Structure formats: C-alpha cells, structure tokens
C-alpha cells in the first residue's frame, strides 16, 4: 500500500518505521527543516514497549533508554522531602526513560533513505481522499496518516476539531549538563500550585520538569531566577539539579490538551494519530505512549486480510475507547497535582499519605497495559 504520513514526531516516525518494515511504500512529510527532536527527556511505560515490540521496534528504543527509574525508590514527596507515596525500587510497572533526540534518531535510522521529507508543509483533502498536497502539488496515496500534532491542520480540514484548552499551568523541562546527581531516589515532589519531577537518563544525566500554576502566556522574565526562587528551598537534589542545568537547555511550554476529543479518528481514507487525535496533558506521562500505541495498532490492523475500511473502523473504535480514559485521567491527575489552596493541598496530601503504595502501583499497572488488537 502507498501511505503518506504527515508529521515526523514520535507518532509519525513509529508509524513510518512499522509500516515500511511491513513492505508498505511510505513517505513522511515534516514541515520543520530537520525531522529532529525538540524536547528534553521522556518516560515510556510498559504499554509503549509492548506496542513497539509488536512491530519490531522495542529493541532499538530499549537500546537508547534506561530502566534506572524503575530501580529507584519513587512516588510523590512533599517539598520537605517527606514521602507521601513511596514506591519501593523494582515494584512498579516497566518504565524506561530516554532523551527525545535519541528516540528520534533511533526511529529515523530505521527508515529507508528519502522516506522523510523535511521542510514540507502538507495538507490533506477535506473530503478524506488519500491525497497530500505540498506547495500546491497533490500526491495520491492509498492511505493518509495525520500525525501532525496537537494543533493538527488535518483535524481541522476534516471538520473534526473541537479546539484546545489551556490546562492552567506551565512546564519547564531541563536536562543537567553534569552526571551522577541521583543515588536511588526519583519521582515527583508536590507543593502548592507547584511541582517538580526527577527522571534519570541513560547517560547518568537527569531530566527534570517543573510545573507552576500560571496565567496563559505569562511572561516570567528571568526564568532560571524564577525557578530558583520557587524551588530552591525544596529537598535535595532539586536545587542542585536547577544549578546543574544551563539556561540554554531550559524549555518552557504552557500546557494544553484537546478541549474535546474528535468524534472520529478516521475521515475517509485518512486517520488521525497521536496528539492530532487525542492530545492530553502530560500528567500521566502517556502522550507519546499513546501515539506509539496508535501507530502499532494501525500497523497490526493493516497486516490482516480484512478490507481497509474495516481495519480503519476498528482503529477508530479501539483507539477512541483507549485514549478517552487517559485523556480524562490526565486532566484529573493534573488538577490534583496542581492543587494550590492550603485546604486542597492538605486534603490531597492526607489522601496520598493514606494510599498504600500497592494501590498506586496497581493503578499505574492498569494504565500501562496496551489493548493489542
């Protein structure tokens, strides 16, 4: 089959690598000048690896990721360092962490030369015909995959857009320049309208994210100074991680999700995949994992002998069912984690303290199961 893919993000590249390995003729269009990665670290859970394994990509992605996070004590702490939920090393579901740039490189390396075309802004056909138009020149395929991210033009063109919603908080991401900051503890620390997460990377550097409740589009001025003022008195090694991160390695994004999910993930011979279909807040760490699940599901469904329309119908049903729960769950998790009034913070922390670690582990294990088609 000839398949055109719009977007060389994680979703588009996993789909491209999986489909091409199955013998499909694949072209990926990416509007940026290089199909590389923007971003810092990333965590992927067992569901993402089950999906990657199913299409032969588990090995290459494991090779650029680390399982150190799962071997550390993790969970949630208070800014003082007191554990609210303490998950002992090795007791959670599979989780691996990696640098986005290395994930992109590993995926790009799986593609035949010339598959990914950078600097091409692509448009889909409003009627769902499998046609991709770049610079006014249409190209016909058998199927078009729109993996063009949260603000997907394809979703809009197909009449499936319900807008995006500002979640009420902004997130910084950083990677330390130096190594060896973590001994045997990672996880998240929750304050009032503020939290920080710590993740070990494969090369012993540390990926961290800091989240503050803020007005949409707020201007923070000297951002490293703001972070130090807000988190500099929190437990070790948080101040040291901030100090070990060059200001040029800081990224900040206001956090959005889709205001409502599209009524369908399929339009004629076109499919939405990844954030284009179901952008969720990052609070469950499942956005990229779901893009990977989408891609693997599509690859497997196209392997079957059933007609294309039937395969797309199953993709639509199964992926909408799976991602709706996580899109909602991410929103809820973000609200709880960003609680800011003293009463809400006290109630949240009391609830967390009362939760047995086993219950927290079981809840994340339920999420980390890919419903293979």
Ligand X SMILES: Cc1cc2nc3c(=O)[nH]c(=O)nc-3n(C[C@H](O)[C@H](O)[C@H](O)COP(=O)(O)OP(=O)(O)OC[C@H]3O[C@@H](n4cnc5c(N)ncnc54)[C@H](O)[C@@H]3O)c2cc1C
**Could you tell me how far CA 322 lies from the centroid of its own chain?**
15
**Minimum separation from the CB atom of position 59 to ligand X (A):** 19
Stated length of the chain: 373
Can you tell me the distance from the alpha carbon of 264 to that of 142, in angstroms, rounded to the nearest whole number? 19
**Minimum separation from the CB atom of position 134 to ligand X (A):** 8
Nearer to ligand X (CB atom), residue 216 or residue 350 = 216
Residues 6 or more apart whose CB falls under 8 angstroms from that of 143 comprise: 1, 2, 3, 4, 130, 269, 270, 271, 302, 308
**Minimum separation from the CB atom of position 140 to ligand X (A):** 17
**Minimum separation from the CB atom of position 1 to ligand X (A):** 20
Across the strands, what pairs with 145?
5, 271
- Cβ(244)–Cβ(217) below 8 Å: no
- Token output for 137: 């020149």
The DSSP 8-state label assigned to residue 356 in this structure reads -
- Cβ(218)–Cβ(125) below 8 Å: no
- Cβ(268)–Cβ(318) below 8 Å: no
- Per DSSP, the three-state class of 304 is coil
Nearer to ligand X (CB atom), residue 156 or residue 353 = 156
Nearer to ligand X (CB atom), residue 84 or residue 276 = 276
- Cβ(30)–Cβ(11) below 8 Å: no
- Cβ(57)–Cβ(331) below 8 Å: no
Nearer to ligand X (CB atom), residue 254 or residue 349 = 254
Which residues bind to ligand X, rule: CB under 6 A?
6-12, 29-32, 42-44, 121-122, 147-149, 153, 171, 173, 209, 253, 274-276, 282, 285-289, 291
**Minimum separation from the CB atom of position 15 to ligand X (A):** 9
**Minimum separation from the CB atom of position 344 to ligand X (A):** 23
**Minimum separation from the CB atom of position 353 to ligand X (A):** 25
**Minimum separation from the CB atom of position 112 to ligand X (A):** 19
The DSSP 8-state label assigned to residue 23 in this structure reads T
Can you tell me the distance from the alpha carbon of 97 to that of 95, in angstroms, rounded to the nearest whole number? 7
Nearer to ligand X (CB atom), residue 236 or residue 259 = 259
Nearer to ligand X (CB atom), residue 34 or residue 347 = 34
Nearer to ligand X (CB atom), residue 253 or residue 306 = 253
Nearer to ligand X (CB atom), residue 10 or residue 54 = 10
Can you tell me the distance from the alpha carbon of 111 to that of 309, in angstroms, rounded to the nearest whole number? 26
Nearer to ligand X (CB atom), residue 144 or residue 171 = 171
Q: How big is the chain by its Cα radius of gyration, in Å?
A: 21
- Token output for 90: 């090795």
**Minimum separation from the CB atom of position 209 to ligand X (A):** 6
- Cβ(237)–Cβ(111) below 8 Å: no
């Amino acid at each position: 089959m000839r398949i055109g893919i719009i977007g060389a993000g994680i979703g588009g590249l996993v789909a491209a690598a999986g489909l091409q390995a199955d013998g499909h003729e694949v072209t990926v269009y990416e509007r940026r000048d290089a199909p590389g990665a923007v971003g810092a670290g990333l965590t992927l859970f067992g569901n993402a690896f089950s999906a990657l394994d199913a299409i032969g990509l588990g090995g290459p992605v494991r090779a650029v990721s680390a399982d150190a996070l799962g071997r550390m004590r993790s969970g949630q702490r208070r800014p003082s360092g007191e554990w609210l939920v303490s998950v002992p090393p090795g007791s959670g579901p599979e989780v691996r962490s990696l640098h986005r740039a290395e994930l992109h490189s590993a995926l790009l390396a799986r593609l035949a030369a010339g598959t990914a075309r950078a600097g091409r802004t692509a448009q889909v056909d409003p009627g769902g015909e499998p046609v991709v138009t770049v610079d006014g020149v249409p190209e016909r395929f058998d199927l078009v995959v729109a993996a063009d991210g949260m603000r997907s033009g394809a979703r809009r063109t197909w009449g499936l857009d319900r807008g995006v919603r500002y979640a009420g908080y902004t997130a910084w991401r950083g990677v330390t320049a130096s190594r060896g900051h973590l001994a045997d503890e990672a996880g998240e620390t929750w304050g009032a309208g503020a939290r920080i997460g710590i993740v070990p990377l494969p090369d012993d550097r540390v990926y961290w994210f800091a989240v503050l409740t803020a007005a949409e589009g707020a201007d923070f001025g000297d951002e490293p100074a703001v972070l130090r003022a807000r988190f500099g008195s929190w437990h070790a090694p948080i101040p040291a991680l901030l100090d070990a991160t060059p200001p040029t390695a800081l990224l900040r994004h206001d956090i959005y999700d889709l205001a409502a999910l599209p009524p369908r993930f399929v339009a004629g011979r076109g499919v939405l995949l990844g954030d284009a279909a179901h952008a969720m807040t990052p609070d469950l760490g499942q956005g990229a994992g779901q893009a990977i699940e989408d891609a693997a599901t599509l690859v497997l469904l196209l392997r079957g002998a059933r007609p294309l329309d039937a395969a797309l119908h199953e993709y639509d049903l199964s992926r909408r069912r799976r991602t709706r729960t996580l899109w909602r769950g991410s929103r809820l998790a973000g609200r709880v984690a960003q609680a800011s009034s003293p009463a809400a913070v006290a109630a949240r922390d009391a609830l967390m303290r009362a939760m047995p670690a086993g219950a927290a582990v079981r809840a994340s294990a339920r999420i980390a199961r890919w419903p293979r088609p």
